[in-house]
């Protein structure tokens, strides 16, 4: 069969890598892809938001299955466009992708269906938000309602910080139209854990747990990013936590969406925080996480194409997911200056050292080929260096060893990805 993957990041590279292992697949395309994805798939120069061109390409090439990796096209309705053309596609429709597309919607859904989350208020008016913040307790969390590349969340320690945050989000439009509406949320403390899941509209199958590092600098300092690294499984995601979430969060969310007439088929990413009062949902995403996919998919023993087809056909109840009894760590290598300003086009050295090394992977996020075939940097997050180990400590050591094989001018990475493992 022919498979088309839509997206251009490390997540899409990990998906393409996993899809390539399926004996069902003869040919993989990726739109628009990147230089790393181009090593296992044919990249086509169509943007993720060019729905008509994507549909035309899928029809012309007789694509059997399209997998949508990115949030923007899902929220924009790309699945609806493919389905209207009679094409087989994996991902939630527009009316279900709102689960990620609007934080206000997801908070209201959780409140209505008693899914545990932080207390919150929603505002369409900056003045009203500032008035509310006059008497709030601090620290407090401000969230731009819409999509903001994983960066539209501000944790404010003081009233002054919060007032500045409202101005940034709602008046200065730092995150564009995502900030037209604001969610002001109670600040919760605890370990954050990510759980990805496959959903077929009624049945949910959760994957192994993972833990992300969002901040740019060591010690969770610096600005929010799309993610600087991750590890799987999380030692803090215990059987007790799993039991609670299965009872009050996972199936409850799928049932809530169905009850709202927004049947969800695709990936639900549960962003959890483990508080003293029990797990709470921080956020939902409607697709694989990045870089969570880079540590979850290498541990997954199933044929991903078979699982995806079961989701599309509504027979996920027949599938049991299986994950290897090991661990995986991903360290993101970034361009100097990310996530603010950075230069592109630096030659990358050391990639050849991954060839033939089992359990070591490098997933490309922001790369391109030069005219003479050299691998160059082409983004803020450039590579996700990923390694397997028998346990988390050995996987972490392997990942940092492999990160040391690669270099380019201005490259940087956090040195403490998975350090929380030592405290487990």
Q: Where are the domains of the chain?
A: 2-93, 125-180, 191-318, 327-423
Which helix (H) or strand (E) segment is 57 a member of? Answer: helix 51-60
* Nearest Cα residue to 233 out of 271, 193, 270, 260: 193
Does 327-423 carry CATH code 3.50.50.60?
A: no
pLDDT tens across 44-78, in order? 999 999 999 999 999 999 999 999 999 999 999 99
**pLDDT the model gives residue 395:** 97
Residue 93 has pLDDT above 90, yes or no: yes
pLDDT tens across 387-399, in order? 999 999 999 999 9
- Whether 125-180 and 191-318 share one fold: the answer is no
Four-point Cα dihedral 142, 248, 94, 16, nearest 10: 90
Q: Which fold has domain 191-318?
A: D-amino Acid Aminotransferase; Chain A, domain 1 (3.30.470)
| CATH number listed for the domain at residues 2-93 | 3.40.50.20
DSSP per residue, 282-336: EEEESS--TTHHHHHGGGB-S-HHHHHHHHHHT-GGG----B-SSEEEEEEEE-T
Specify the DSSP class assigned to residue 421. G
Q: Which fold has domain 125-180?
A: Dna Ligase; domain 1 (3.30.1490)
pLDDT tens across 145-183, in order? 988 776 788 899 999 999 999 999 999 999 999 899 999
pLDDT tens across 322-334, in order? 999 999 999 999 9
Residue 423 has pLDDT above 80, yes or no: no
Q: Which residues pair with 388 in a beta bridge?
A: 328
DSSP per residue, 269-297: EEEEEEETTEEEEEEEESS--TTHHHHHG
What pTM did the predictor assign? 0.94
% of the chain exceeding 90 in pLDDT: 94
84-88, 97-101, 174-178, 264-268: lowest mean pLDDT where? Answer: 174-178
pLDDT tens across 279-307, in order? 999 999 999 999 999 999 999 999 999 99
pLDDT band at 422 (very low <50, low <70, confident <90, very high): low
């Amino acid at each position: 069969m022919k498979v088309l993957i839509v997206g251009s990041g490390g997540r899409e590279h990990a998906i393409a890598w996993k899809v390539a292992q399926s004996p069902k697949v003869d040919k993989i395309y990726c739109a628009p892809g990147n230089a790393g994805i181009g090593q296992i798939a044919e990249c086509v120069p169509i943007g993720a938001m060019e729905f008509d061109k994507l549909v035309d390409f899928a029809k012309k090439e007789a694509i059997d299955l399209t997998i949508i990796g990115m949030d923007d096209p899902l929220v924009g309705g790309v699945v609806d466009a493919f389905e209207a053309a009679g094409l087989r596609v994996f991902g939630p429709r527009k009316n279900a992708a709102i689960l990620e597309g609007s934080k206000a919607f997801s908070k209201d859904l959780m409140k209505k269906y008693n899914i545990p989350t932080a207390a919150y208020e929603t505002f369409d008016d900056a003045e009203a938000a500032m008035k509310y913040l006059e008497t709030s307790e601090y620290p407090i969390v401000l969230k731009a309602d819409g999509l903001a590349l994983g960066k539209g969340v501000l944790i404010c320690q003081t009233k002054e910080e919060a007032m500045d945050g409202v101005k940034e989000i709602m008046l200065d439009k730092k995150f564009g139209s995502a900030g037209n509406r604001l969610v002001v949320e109670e600040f919760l403390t605890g370990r954050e854990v990510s759980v990805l899941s496959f959903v077929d509209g009624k049945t949910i199958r959760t994957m192994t747990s993972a833990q992300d590092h969002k901040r740019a600098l060591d010690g969770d300092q610096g600005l929010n990013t799309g993610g600087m690294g991750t590890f799987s499984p999380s030692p803090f995601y215990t059987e007790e936590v799993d039991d609670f979430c299965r009872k009050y969060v996972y199936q409850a969310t799928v049932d809530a969406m169905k009850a709202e007439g927004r049947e969800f088929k695709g990936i639900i990413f549960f962003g959890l925080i483990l508080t003293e009062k029990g797990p709470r949902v921080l956020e939902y995403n409607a697709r694989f996480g990045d870089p969570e996919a880079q540590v979850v998919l290498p541990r997954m023993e199933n044929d991903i194409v078979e699982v995806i087809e079961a989701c599309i056909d509504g027979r996920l109840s027949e599938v049991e997911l299986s994950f290897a009894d090991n661990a995986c760590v991903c360290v993101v290598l970034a361009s100097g200056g990310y996530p603010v300003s950075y230069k592109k086009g630096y030659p990358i050295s050391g990639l050849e050292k991954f060839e033939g090394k089992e359990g070591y992977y490098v997933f490309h996020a922001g790369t391109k080929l030069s005219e003479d075939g050299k691998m160059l940097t082409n983004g803020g997050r450039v590579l996700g260096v990923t390694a397997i180990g028998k346990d988390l400590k050995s996987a972490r050591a392997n990942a940092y060893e492999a990160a040391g094989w690669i270099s380019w001018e201005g490259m940087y990475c956090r040195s403490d990805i998975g350090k929380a493992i030592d405290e487990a």
